[in-house]
Chains A and B, each alone.
Chain A
Amino acid sequence: MKSQIPIEQLLRWRLAQAEASAPPPPRAGQVLEMACPWWEVWPEKFRDFAQQLGLIRIAYGLAMSRPEEPGGHPVPVLFVGGAEKLETSARVLYFNVRDGRLRLRLRLNAAIPKAPENFEVTFVNPQLRPLFSAAATPSADGEYRLDIELPEPLAYEWEQLKVTDPMPFRLMIHSDKKKD
């Protein structure tokens, strides 16, 4: 057996191996689908979720364990994780819109069983129309934070908001990207 192989040949062999085991590249349609926000890809699902989200009543709903809780207004939250759905609420702990970017911290009021590390949060306006979605990362003490660039009209509108004001959005939280 030949023991001395040129490095160039070895690299070529490795590349061939990697190409053989790599998944096929997505087709143009798939790329377009991936670039679209999920509510455009699965509009029926979004409609169902939005309908359920719109039915969450903070003042009287089951999601609210302590309706008299002072300090900020809880935001209705629909958590979707696989087949599981959970209606709850979240407290916004930090809300800052600066230079067109939203920095937000929130804490869910109900413990989510088997909560994943990262969430995708979809902001839905009071008319139940999608605004944008962002990835939320876990932070200290069971909190989640997100940092995203806002569309210009929203950034202007939300710049004046205080954390203690009623929030002009509801949240859909997904544990994965397939939205199922």
Chain B
Amino acid sequence: MMRFVWFWTFWHWSSESFRTGCLLHSPVQGVGTHWDEWFHHEASEEDRRAMTDTGRSETGQREFITWLYRHWAREQDWSNHRMVARFVIGQLAHLPPFGHWVAFEKYRTGRFRDGISSLVLAEGSSGEVTDVRPMEALVLPKDHAAGDGFLTDGFQTDREDIESPRLATISLLRGKGLLFFLILWMAGGRRPYPLWLKFILNLGWLLTGGLILYLLCGPDPREQLPVLVAILAGLWGALMLMAVTVISAQAVLARRAGEYWFARLEENQVRLRMEGGLTFKGASAGLPFCLNALFSLYRAWPEVTRRSWLWRSFFHRLNAETGSWAATGVITPSGFLKPVVLEPKIRAAQLHDRIRHVITPRQCDAREAARHAAKKSKSPSSHRHEPVAPVVEANGIRLGYAADYAAEKPFLRIHACRHAAQSLLAIGALASRWQMTANICAVGISLVLLAAAPDLRAILMPYPSPAPMKPASPSPNFLWVSLDTDHPRYFSVVLESSYWACRRVDVARYTGANASVRAEILLTSSGVKGSGTVGTIWVERAPHFLTRDFGPGERVGRYSLPYMFSLGAD
């Protein structure tokens, strides 16, 4: 639109000045400085008049904002990078003439500048509401003049103290941190199932467990056994397939989204902003730096979460409740959290009227610190700033109550984490005790079924019928029925004779001088007169399920006694 040609004039001046080496920062990163310079010393009377015309009505001001988002960003090829236009507007909002424009008010007041607050104690502070420091991270096109990695804006810290959060962010996007996150989610994270499917799946696992119990302790199903075993195996297989498919798909999608954001992170720069001009001593703001950097990637490219339910759950909740979260913790490049001073920070969070959740490192004094903080913040003097409730919940346990304040701030929840990945689960409300219980049951059932897998296989896909073979018994008191099979557990041998006492003997593997797979039948006379060569040897299947022996199964071989004796004679 020609109405905003003055902005193009400014942009051209900024780009050219940067190109010719007059300006240190790129036009985007230094837009505030550049505008201030241009407006005060370069803008023509005509430009100023046009600006005044635009700013005369709120409609004109809004049109300018819309134009920046829709047209200017597209012209500059930043239409898919949502933070650039917002950043530019946010920077201009504080400068003349925009500083008085009503439409820029929400950008001035920082409505869009909420991230996870950082708990940073002022020197000598024992935990004041001002120690909860709102911060935000912005992803912007790379400016080599500004440096590599994460940049600080409004505060100073050692390079190493922002390098670890950067590496931890990368780890959470595509490295071991992501792997840890996925493992934690697999172990006890809620799944992306609709309610009805969750019900069916839980019912399926219950049924599987019930069938196992029935096979172990119930009546012998006899000829129904293969059917029951087939149902059991099919059900378990389907449930496992479902679980593995969903988990693998989510893991792959989360990894892909992480890779995409990582690529964008490499192309761009993250600016961590915190007001107050602090110089940090210590690295306890590492965790909020890392989490805010992740959040900034989402804010710049939110469409990526369409493909990953896991990231979507995390970011959507964070986006909705971002002002109610605060964090503290020294973070290592691999994402693990190291202990920090907690008590005054928890107290500061309690005094803040918006903070509901605090992420801290898991440390032995965390619970004690929370209890102390709750006790101290109960004293009326500690409520000078904000009348809030000193009720604290540490690791899911409430530590104190204050009915006077409960209506204003029900409780502060402390999420103690060993790794930044755990904080993702906490923020995204991804952890589910029900799912963890279901997983433990499913793992138990699966272990039982894996242990019983050979038994199930023998029932569903019986091994081939074995043929009798040598060796025969060297003793006349025994009949050895040696069988040509590697699965002796699933066969038994039956002697049926009018002369010899009938017997059923399990086949077993024997080692030693006459090693073979055989059934050793003790030959004892039944007392009936007759010939000792009359009789039949049957080979039967012997179905088992773990410790349970079922009744005799199908007869798969029939041999006469003379034949068996003849094997010994050979």
Chain A positions near chain B (C-beta within 8 angstroms) = 65-66, 68-72, 91-96, 103, 105, 111, 139-143, 145, 147, 162-165
Contact = CB atoms under 8 A, between A and B. Distances in A.
B546 interface: no
A111 B95 contact: no
Interface stretch (B20-28, B115-123, B307-315): B20-28
B144 A93 contact: no
Contact of B33 (A68, A95, A141): A141
Given A69-B147, A111-B277, A94 B21 contact: no
Give the interface residue-count category, chain B.
20 to 34
A93 B24 contact: yes
Contacts, number: 69
A20 B334 CA distance: 76
Given A68-B159, A70-B147, A143-B33, 19 more contacts: A70-B144, A72-B24, A91-B24, A93-B23, A93-B33, A94-B33, A96-B17, A103-B37, A111-B156, A111-B277, A111-B279, A140-B32, A140-B33, A140-B94, A143-B36, A145-B37, A163-B21, A163-B23, A163-B24
Contact of A103 (B41, B95, B277): B41
Contact of A66 (B20, B34, B94, B159): B159
B522 interface: no
B146 interface: yes
Interface in B265-287: 277, 279
A163 B25 CA distance: 10
Interface in B6-58: 17, 20-25, 30, 32-34, 36-37, 41
Contacts of B159: 66, 68
B145 interface: yes
A143 to B, nearest CB: 6
Nearest to A67: B159
B24 A71 contact: yes
A162 to B, nearest CB: 3
Given A139-B36, A140-B36, A65 B24 contact: no
B312 to A, nearest CB: 35
Contacts of A72: 24, 145
26 contacts: A66-B159, A68-B159, A70-B147, A71-B24, A71-B144, A71-B145, A71-B146, A72-B24, A93-B24, A94-B22, A94-B24, A94-B37, A96-B17, A105-B37, A111-B156, A111-B279, A139-B33, A139-B36, A140-B36, A140-B94, A142-B277, A143-B36, A147-B41, A162-B21, A162-B22, A165-B21
Nearest to A109: B156
A112 to B, nearest CB: 10
A111 B152 CA distance: 14
B148 A70 contact: yes
Nearest to B18: A163
Contact of B22 (A139, A147, A163): A163
